[in-house]
Structure 1
Amino acid sequence: MFKNRLAGLLALAACGAASVFSFAPLYLGVLMPLSLAGWLWGVGRAPSVRAAMLAGYAWGLGYFVANVYWVYISLHTFGGMPGWMAAGCTLLFGAYLALFPALAAGLGRRLPCPEPLRLPLLLPTLFCASEWLRGTLFTGFPWAETGTSQIPSWPLAGYAPIVGSMGVGWLLLLGVGIVLARWRDPRRWAGVAALWLAGWGLLQVEWTTPVGKPVSVSLAQSNIAQDMKWNSAHYLDNLRVNLQQARQARGELVVLPETAIPAFLTDVPDWYLDTLRSAVGERALVLGVPLQGKGADEYYNGAMVLTDPRQPVYKKQHLVPFGEFVPVPWLFGWMYRFLDMPLSGFSRGAFKQPPFVIGPTRLAANICYEDVFATDILQALPEATMLVNFSNLAWFDGSWAAEQQLQMSQARALETGRYMLRSTNTGATAIVDHRGRVQARLPQRQRAVLEGQAVNRTGLTPYGRWHNTPILLTWLLSLLALVWTGIRCERRQSSFN
């Protein structure tokens, strides 16, 4: 019995881990329904609440360890942690994230609900609610949302401009649950096919409107190794790379990546900044740079239009836990001190900040993994006509992290109906159009400047207008209706007995 149970849990963990292939760089979105079927089946067939939570946890552990394995690279290769300690921290992180699908599994078996609706409706809704909680609690970590696996070209992606990637994930789970509940019923398959076909039709809809002529853009990828980026011995070399790439750029809008200048702007010589401005002439130069605040301990991961000092600076507001600030310092402070990360302890910028005004372009900035948070990006609407992401993922070189983040940028572009420009240190530097499709990109770990065109767009998608409110209300009302109906069924059954 024990061996059979262990084998079942290992199979669920493997099923969760297989989901990594549904995301970028492979984009095999068809694998996600199969992976989710494993969670639904394992939880739905569990003989008790405890067994359901264990099944949900095993699946989640495989899912998250596979999708965030690159944490090991940052801790061991660049952070200097011993291999065993870095592996333990990565496993611990995955173990924490796995609590969310386990919580959904436990509630899915404990809450009263009509049994015919438990698998096709209650469990999918609770799973997606747990994803929302994961993306919100303790500043949130919505990496590898199930709905993102369908973006940009799988049929359910057509619903992203209406209900966002979270809503896409819910529709995906509903379809899987409906089929699993009665897989022999051809009407169930027909209903799911109609759902997917409608999504494909929605992919053809233009939700926003182009404005003016295309803007030529130059996106720099400096490809500076992480161990050189903050090394004072290479400081001048890093500045030369920026200058060379600015001179090489031909676009009306030139973008350099996150912390392109590895020093506070106030510490950079004026002659160098003037030389950078001269390199682009009358064109606009936007770059990432650390910004000093009013106090000695106040500094920001920022971005600015270097060629126009009248423009407001952008200050990153969604900071990376353990990378840019320490949650619960008394418990995790040792990790920060061990890693000795440069410019740790950033301050947080305002939640809503105005876009850069560059001619007809209203360019909304986001830095690093801020493009993972849909609600953060939506704050720039409707003013923004284009989005830009500044990133440095050299911390995870050799992994799929950069490709996964590119796919999340694609999701934000599709949800908002806006172009997303990405200028990164080592990749993935790309131009993503308003449908979430990559129009042009550079290979990773290559020093180059990506030349292309982007289009300003105005108007709001339904998701841009209403955010997550409709889908959250739908989940809440569904859960209330299911629980209320379940309670009535239980009372009716007990009265008969």
Structure 2
Amino acid sequence: MKQVLTPRLRLLAAFVCGLIAPFAFAPYGLWPLMPLSLLGLLLLLKPEQSGFKLGFCYGLGWFGYGIHWVHVSMAEFGGMPLIVSLALMALLVAYLALYPAFSCWLANKWQGPRRLTFFLLWFPACWLLGEWLRSWVLTGFPWLQPGYSQIDSPLSTIAPVLGLYGVTWLVLLSAASAALILVNEGKVRWVACLTIALPLVLGLTFKGVSWTQAQDSLKVALVQGNVPLDIKWLPQHRAASLVMYQQETAAIDNADVIVWPESAIAALEYEVIDFLHDLDGQLLNKQQALITGVIAHDLQNNQYYNALITLGQQTEEAGASSAYYYENPNRYYKNHLLPIGEFVPFEQLLRPLAPFFNLPMSSFNRGDTMQQNLEVKGHQWLAAICYEIAFGELLRPQFTPETDAIITVSNDAWFGTSIGPQQHLEIAQMRALEFGRPVVRSTNTGVTAIIDRFGNIQQRAPEYQQLTLTDDVTPATGITPYQRFGLWPVALIVLLGLASGLVQRIRQRKLQPAAND
């Protein structure tokens, strides 16, 4: 690639490399394509060409296909002309492409020959810095981080040790080592042959290691309501929806815990208080517990929350006849809200423009950053609503040694039959691996699934069907290294890589006067 490609062809090649990357993720699962995609980008990255443009073109391909499913919500439910929705989608893709553009721009600031230190320390550090920024700037959108693509690869066993970012680092190390082998000779090539084997060796070393201990299993039933979005929030449909969920639940006899999806009760909690009391009594009689999504309203402060509440749980405050009462503290309020979907920035300006900026229930308040786990059937459940499951560092502070399992609920009907819900499920698998806990995932239309503590999909339901998925869930105890140390090990790797670039820059400045003499 030294003299074959013109600058414009390099940009096109970078776009194609980015376009390959999404096929490493669910539902395709071709995990070797992620390091190969990054390898192609590394080979294209030359000092004489703009690293920013190259990374930007890579990002256009990566996110242009990888998150094209976002357009489904704009086109089908946003009430916008097609050209406007496509323009908004293009803006989102261009914004996300800025992060690989930044990483490549920074990588090209390296001075001097590009050998071991550049490939094995500097470039991975630059890329990880970009990924970290993407996870929190403007509330963050950490979708399609390279580590997620390795759920089915040998590298997945590193997730309980170093977390998602650690797996991403090993993907980068694999790509960088391969690039070293291709562009260097002699001892450098032999060192690269050793480092390219390191990720695989680490993966095999931790294969079969169980960081957490299994407890007695319990039976969990996940109700997939399959309620169409175009009628979900209509007041005239509310009764039919509640009856459907109640009937599905009444037919469940062999489950300890039942889970309904995000906002399964498409109403304010106080509006259906009688229904909740009746349902609570039925659950108590059958010695079952229910976790369900609902819209909570803090009457005192007039604030609204995307919430999970529990029913069928005996408490002293409620008395012997009922476990449920309004504003029972055994609940969870969503903290990380989705822009546009759950809150609208600059809402006075944007809401009048199109229905997309005025979706049902798009004026939520944030729940507290630190909240107690849900206590259900003697177990502690760490809760995450919708895309909160994509933020491991949001969940980690709320994780305690007593946390037994993770529950996540969602309504991915916004994205139709696209690849988005499959990617969402893959993200939940990573959280199971990181924390060594089973994940139960209840959704309106799919993908409803039960994931074991090793990140394997134990059971999954077909999409867009009204059904109940029932299986044993095995809670776990114990702490994984990732849960204990978080991002610190990877942060040290990044700092070491960035320091190598600084040292190289100082060294080159010292060499320049000597060369001029």
The answer to whether the superposition gives a TM-score over 0.5 is yes
Does 2:242 align with 1:224?
A: no
SS for the counterpart of 1:268 is helix
Does 2:55 align with 1:36?
A: no
Q: 1:194-246: per-residue Cα shift (whole Å, max 9, x none)?
A: 421321231311011112x1111001111111111112232111111211221
The Cα shift of 1:252 comes to 0.3
- CA shift in 2, pair 1:488/1:347, >3 Å: same
Does 2:291 align with 1:290?
A: no
One-letter code aligned to 1:471: V
Does 2:202 align with 1:198?
A: yes
Q: Is the Cα–Cα contact under 8 Å of residues 256 and 286 in structure 1 kept in the other structure?
A: yes
Q: CA RMSD in A?
A: 2.0
Q: 1:134-175: per-residue Cα shift (whole Å, max 9, x none)?
A: 001121110111111001x20111111111111111111112
One-letter code aligned to 2:114: E
The Cα shift of 1:471 comes to 1.0
Deviates more, 1:487-496 or 1:217-226: 487-496
Q: Is the Cα–Cα contact under 8 Å of residues 256 and 377 in structure 2 kept in the other structure?
A: no
Q: What is the distance in 2 between the residues matched to 1:129 and 1:10?
A: 25
Deviates more, 1:199-208 or 1:456-465: 199-208
Q: Is the Cα–Cα contact under 8 Å of residues 131 and 145 in structure 1 kept in the other structure?
A: yes
SS for the counterpart of 1:98 is helix
Counterpart of 2:316? none
The Cα shift of 1:490 comes to 2.8
Deviates more, 1:188-197 or 1:202-211: 188-197
- CA shift in 2, pair 1:297/1:13, >3 Å: farther
- Counterparts of residues 87-106 of structure 1 (less than 5 Å): 87-106=86-105
Counterpart of 1:81? 80
SS for the counterpart of 1:110 is coil
One-letter code aligned to 1:291: A
Q: What is the distance in 2 between the residues matched to 1:88 and 1:370?
A: 27
Does 2:134 align with 1:155?
A: no
Counterpart of 2:362? 344
One-letter code aligned to 1:193: A
Q: Is the Cα–Cα contact under 8 Å of residues 222 and 425 in structure 1 kept in the other structure?
A: yes
Q: What is the distance in 1 between the residues matched to 2:493 and 2:199?
A: 17
One-letter code aligned to 1:287: T
Counterpart of 1:6? 8
Q: Is the Cα–Cα contact under 8 Å of residues 80 and 339 in structure 1 kept in the other structure?
A: no
Does 2:306 align with 1:306?
A: no
Q: What is the distance in 2 between the residues matched to 1:374 and 1:118?
A: 29
Counterpart of 2:128? 128
SS for the counterpart of 1:258 is coil
Q: What is the distance in 2 between the residues matched to 1:455 and 1:167?
A: 26
The Cα shift of 1:279 comes to 5.1
- Counterparts of residues 265-414 of structure 1 (less than 5 Å): 265-271=269-275, 273-275=277-279, 277-278=281-282, 281-295=286-300, 297-308=302-313, 309=324, 311-329=329-347, 332-334=350-352, 338-382=356-400, 383-414=402-433
Q: 1:290-327: per-residue Cα shift (whole Å, max 9, x none)?
A: 10013565100000112233552100000001111123
SS for the counterpart of 1:263 is strand
Q: Is the Cα–Cα contact under 8 Å of residues 419 and 433 in structure 1 kept in the other structure?
A: yes
**Percent of residue pairs bearing the same amino acid type:** 35
Q: What is the distance in 2 between the residues matched to 1:360 and 1:273?
A: 21
Q: What is the distance in 2 between the residues matched to 1:277 and 1:6?
A: 68
Does 2:470 align with 1:472?
A: no
Counterpart of 2:48? 47
One-letter code aligned to 2:278: D
Q: What is the distance in 2 between the residues matched to 1:466 and 1:234?
A: 48
SS for the counterpart of 2:492 is helix
Deviates more, 1:391-400 or 1:195-204: 195-204
**Count of aligned pairs:** 491
Q: Is the Cα–Cα contact under 8 Å of residues 351 and 358 in structure 2 kept in the other structure?
A: no
- CA shift in 2, pair 1:279/1:330, >3 Å: closer
The Cα shift of 1:192 comes to 1.4
Q: TM-score, normalised by structure 1?
A: 0.94
The Cα shift of 1:191 comes to 3.0
The Cα shift of 1:121 comes to 2.4
- Counterparts of residues 450-469 of structure 1 (less than 5 Å): 450-469=469-488
Deviates more, 1:125-134 or 1:279-288: 279-288
- Counterparts of residues 198-277 of structure 1 (less than 5 Å): 198-211=202-215, 213-249=216-252, 250-271=254-275, 273-275=277-279, 277=281
SS for the counterpart of 1:325 is coil
Q: What is the distance in 2 between the residues matched to 1:113 and 1:302?
A: 54
The Cα shift of 1:379 comes to 2.4
Q: What is the distance in 2 between the residues matched to 1:205 and 1:396?
A: 37
The Cα shift of 1:110 comes to 1.8
Q: What is the distance in 2 between the residues matched to 1:215 and 1:453?
A: 5
Does 2:445 align with 1:441?
A: no
The Cα shift of 1:39 comes to 2.1
Q: What is the distance in 1 between the residues matched to 2:446 and 2:79?
A: 22
The Cα shift of 1:260 comes to 0.6
- CA shift in 2, pair 1:10/1:328, >3 Å: farther
Q: 1:394-442: per-residue Cα shift (whole Å, max 9, x none)?
A: 1001211111000000000000000000000000100001111000010
Q: Is the Cα–Cα contact under 8 Å of residues 74 and 356 in structure 2 kept in the other structure?
A: no
Q: What is the distance in 2 between the residues matched to 1:300 and 1:272?
A: 17
One-letter code aligned to 2:52: M
Q: TM-score, normalised by structure 2?
A: 0.90
- CA shift in 2, pair 1:113/1:442, >3 Å: farther
Does 2:438 align with 1:416?
A: no
Q: What is the distance in 2 between the residues matched to 1:481 and 1:72?
A: 41
Q: 1:455-478: per-residue Cα shift (whole Å, max 9, x none)?
A: 111111100001112211221232
SS for the counterpart of 1:302 is strand
The Cα shift of 1:328 comes to 4.2
- CA shift in 2, pair 1:273/1:485, >3 Å: same
Q: 1:54-100: per-residue Cα shift (whole Å, max 9, x none)?
A: 01100001111111111110011112211111111111100000001
Q: Is the Cα–Cα contact under 8 Å of residues 112 and 483 in structure 1 kept in the other structure?
A: no
Q: What is the distance in 2 between the residues matched to 1:338 and 1:449?
A: 31
Counterpart of 2:19? 17
Q: Is the Cα–Cα contact under 8 Å of residues 16 and 59 in structure 1 kept in the other structure?
A: yes
The Cα shift of 1:37 comes to 1.4
Q: Is the Cα–Cα contact under 8 Å of residues 81 and 339 in structure 1 kept in the other structure?
A: no
Q: What is the distance in 2 between the residues matched to 1:186 and 1:459?
A: 40
Q: Mark the runs of 5 or more structure 2 residues left unpaired by the alignment.
A: 314-323
Counterpart of 1:171? 170
One-letter code aligned to 1:408: I
Q: What is the distance in 1 between the residues matched to 2:509 and 2:312?
A: 69
- Counterparts of residues 130-145 of structure 1 (less than 5 Å): 130-145=130-145
The Cα shift of 1:112 comes to 4.0
